[in-house]
Structure 1
């Protein structure tokens, strides 16, 4: 099964769609591998102007890591191997050579918010919930999300989202600067977002790449990858603790009720 579906909705614009709608588009190991290969396959295309990340279906953009799969990881080492693998992928997304757009067609929670953070722009459907809920599971963001968020938002805005670990509506997230545009449910979500993207880009891909490279070079000079890996290591330490495993067990039991 293709867990990442690639299409080209506009000339020079590639869309990668997370394709596990029955699992709220949660990320598992196979999803990671396919996302990595997809990014590698397109990043050097000379005609590429933009990249879109979105989710299949109407319920979820991405609900984060597949908790049933990753709950099997118990030790700090096991956790770090998984977390750093996805962290490397999100670093590639963060430093992708053309603008990136997260189209939040549905809920974005935990790691789903980290994927969205790695993108340059976040457009969301009205009434959708987002949240860096990792703190409720006694861990921090595990894929480098906090480091990336602090590059994108003002310090107090970013830390409000991280410290609280709350789910909030995209309308509030827009006021905090996390969401750039909320699309009315009366409109066709993808028609409006595609038009927004089309209108926000000049025609010459070389100009687009040159502008993006200014920020990417700054991130590289300030050691973004190392900072993300430090965050990920700290998460892996918390992952091993009983508090995390108990919180996950409680969460899974509540879902069964």
Structure 2
């Protein structure tokens, strides 16, 4: 089974799906390549109005990095190699020249929450829970998500999410300004896509690109890329630490039982 899917919808939208429901749509290197393909497609096709990112099934948007793959990374250098690869992808996603949407069909934790943060809008299913749980694993956000979050919502709200490492319900996400729209379980994807269509309906892809460029110019002028990279470096240092490896071993042991 292919780990990602890329579909051109009839309404000038591109839908990218992480297709690993058996592991809660966790990210591995093949999924990273799928993200690159989606971003490249948008950049090359000027008729596309927006990129939608979602997960397969109705349980998880994305559970972050696949620990069964990445737990083999022990040193700071090994961790940085992986983290910076996905960090580069999320920088490209955040600064993409078209509107981007996280269609959060289920749990979005750890790196999954970083992916959602990189998008311009976050649309959640009513039962969706999300959170930057990295602190419970002895590390910080490692794909640039903390830096991006501080660009998206007020400082105190962002810090509350990052410091607590809690999993948060979608209705609280609306109060924090992180979630833009919530829909019921039943027709979640259809309603979410309809909401996106209505938002973009009156503007051409060129107009949308011009508006997005206003934010991108601000982010580039404030050295977003280098700030994300400093975050990634710090996470790499913590990754090498005993606290992180102990926490991940305990997590994997619980999954086996």
Alignment map for 1:1-257 (pairs within 5 Å): 1-185=1-185, 187-201=186-200, 202-257=202-257
SS of residue in 2 equivalent to 1:72:
coil
Query: Which consecutive residues of structure 2, in runs of 5 or more, have no partner in the other structure?
Result: none
Shift of 1:151: 0.2
Size of the alignment, in residue pairs?
256
Contact 2:11–2:197 under 8 Å retained in 1? no
Shift of 1:220: 0.7
Contact 2:24–2:63 under 8 Å retained in 1? yes
Q: Deviations over 1:77-129 (max 9, x none)?
A: 00000000000000000001010000000110100000000000000000111
Shift of 1:168: 1.3
Contact 2:42–2:51 under 8 Å retained in 1? no
SS of residue in 2 equivalent to 1:158:
helix
For residues 234 and 252 of structure 1, the distance between their equivalents in structure 2, rounded to whole angstroms, comes to 24
SS of residue in 1 equivalent to 2:72:
coil
Deviation >4 Å, runs of 4+ = none
Shift of 1:42: 2.6
Contact 2:131–2:168 under 8 Å retained in 1? yes
Stretch deviating more after TM superposition (176-185 or 225-234): 176-185
RMSD: 0.9
Query: Which consecutive residues of structure 1, in runs of 5 or more, have no partner in the other structure?
Result: none
Shift of 1:41: 2.5
Q: TM-score scaled to structure 2, two decimals?
A: 0.97
Contact 2:61–2:105 under 8 Å retained in 1? yes
